[in-house]
A and B are shown apart, each in its own frame.
Chain A
Amino acid sequence: MASHPNKISRFNIASLALGLAFLYLPIAILVIYSFNGSRLVTVWGGWSLRWYHEFFADRAMIDAAWMSFRVAATSATIATLLGTLAAVALSRGERFRGRTLFSGMLYAPLVMPEVITGLSLLLLFVAVNAERGFWTVTIAHTTLTLCFVAVVVQSRLGSLDRSLEEAAMDLGCDPARAFLAVTLPLIWPAIIAGWMLAFTLSLDDLVIASFTTGPGSETLPIRIYSEVRLGVKPEINAICTLVIGLIAIVIVAASLASKLSSAQAKSAAPM
């Protein structure tokens, strides 16, 4: 296998290393500077937790973070429920009328420019006279993230051995029971990973939230954005580092879940 043309070359290694350095260096610099004691963002004034204290004393920022957290948790939960159902319908259901429209509606938001999604949802909320705030942002985020959940779960369902479900049904399970007893435990880790993806996407979103939120209910990205527009502030470095830390925890949990998933899949379905 490791014959000459397929050997990894120095060029391969170099491009990989440069690519990864490009992806990580800016974030690393940001994290380091969040511990900078100096008020001047560009002068190193020794290690300090000063900006973290500043953040925890900033009432408006804390409120925004709490709002973001609630929106992310709620919308991710609804999105996971609906996205999983959609994935099951697409990969297990027989052809039904409107299936093309259905899958189109699920794939389009993945690439749709956020300004369009945000504007259109806002116009809907205004038309039905909904009070804008927590729930409108949550609905908007659910709409976007359920599509990501559907793709994640669908790809897991696609790689599952269908004979397991068929065996359960041959043994007398009705389709619903076969799904609950056999399929669901196997795709559970993908569902968890989908929830986490939805959670971080919601936590991250600026554009859609800006359109759909109302006065007095800012999310964290909206707050950060308005601060960043005024210039670089060391406190923002600290907040960003905290968010990165939270997301890192989520990623580690998600990768553990997927490890568990492949181990489980192997033990359930010896290849």
Chain B
Amino acid sequence: MSARRIFARPARFAAIAPYVWMVLFFLVPFGFVLKISLSQTAIAQPPYVPVFDLTEDFAAIKAAFAALSLDNFRLLVSDNLYVLSYLRSLVVAAVSTSILLLVGYPVAYGMARLPRRWQSVAMMLVIVPFWTSFLIRIYAWINILQHDGLLNKILLALHLVSTPVVWLSTDSAMYLGIVYSYLPFMILPLYATLAKMDPALLEAASDLGAAPGRAFWLVTFPLSLPGVVAGVLLCFIPIVGEFVIPDLLAGSDSLMIGQTLWLEFFTNKDWPVASAAAVLLLLLLLAPLLFYDRLQRRQLEDAR
């Protein structure tokens, strides 16, 4: 594979710099994660026993390979703490993605029904929060949900509750935070497919006697499935590894895998176990990631 063949035409030269960058800073680091996930914990700086050193001779490398251990992975699959946090991550991601779909679909549908002129305004309004800091938006909810926060004040004033309700450090607060933060990611791909739909299709369905509800399920929804899939993947994958939202809004009795990884890394300084947790998380996400990659590529090829 000569360099000449790879980048024969000028535009291909453009690929060299970003290609090298991504290999160096995206692909190679995964190699290190894999390597350290196979090594032993040590009380040292950095806190692990180096597995092998490429400067050594062949015999040493062979010995090092023999010393590779799957202990960290064995720990992960045998310890309930980790198994539970993987399961919890999947459940939280599945539940929040479903809520996101239920909330996001009507909003995207409403946007697609707006007059053209207003559609771009609505789209802008949905995108803007995405530009606003994630952390700030979660913090805004802490303001509202705390013990003597706005929500409890309103509920008390309306006599809906007699004592302040505990909202923070609960799963409901976490779900609220996740739905709030990821809503634009769900709305935008849905809107993109719904806006492209030919209005004549619904007219035809109505002419043929379909009630609006039936026409929706027979025509609109099936045609919007690509948007649904894109939105679901765009939300589900990052939510599985989410750290900030559960850390600030959920209780500390059960952790998501992103939090467990963070804890192992920053608090327990157990880099090998943190790395093994990252490898397992990646394996868990591999199928949806590949699917998303294919979808993304097809979409951009279509646009060419």
Contact = CB atoms under 8 A, between A and B. Distances in A.
Interface of A: 1, 3-9, 11-16, 18-20, 22-24, 26-27, 29-30, 33, 41-42, 81-83, 85-86, 88-94, 96-98, 102-117, 119-121, 123-124, 126-127, 139-140, 142-143, 146, 150, 154-155, 158-159, 174-176, 179, 197, 200, 203-204, 206-207, 210-211, 221, 224-225, 228-229, 232, 236-237, 240, 243-244, 247, 250-251, 255
Chain B interface size range: 35 or more
Contact of B275 (A7, A20, A119): A119
B157 interface: no
Contact of B27 (A105, A139, A176): A105
Contacts of A142: 21, 25
A115 B143 contact: no
Interface string B183-203: 110010000000000010011
A24 B132 CA distance: 11
A29 B7 contact: no
Contact of B238 (A27, A111, A243): A111
Contacts of B129: 23-24, 27
Given A5-B206, A119-B265, A120-B33, 10 more contacts: A16-B122, A22-B183, A26-B141, A42-B150, A94-B9, A98-B19, A105-B23, A108-B26, A111-B289, A207-B244
Nearest to A237: B143
Contacts of B110: 8, 11-16, 19
A119 B15 contact: no
A232 B146 contact: yes
B73 interface: no
Which applies to chain B's interface (DSSP): helix, strand, loop or mixed?
A: helix
Interface string B201-239: 011011000001001000000000000000001100110
Contact of B303 (A102, A150, A155, A237): A155
A96 B7 contact: yes
B251 interface: no
Nearest to A207: B243
Contacts of B32: 120, 123-124, 127
6 contacts: A5-B215, A30-B143, A33-B143, A94-B12, A111-B234, A250-B131
A244 B136 contact: yes
A111 B233 CA distance: 8
A23 B9 CA distance: 46
A14 to B, nearest CB: 8
Nearest to B205: A5
A240 B148 contact: no
A126 to B, nearest CB: 5
A89 B12 contact: yes
Contacts of A12: 106, 109-110, 113-114
B293 A123 contact: no
Contacts of A85: 14-15, 17-18
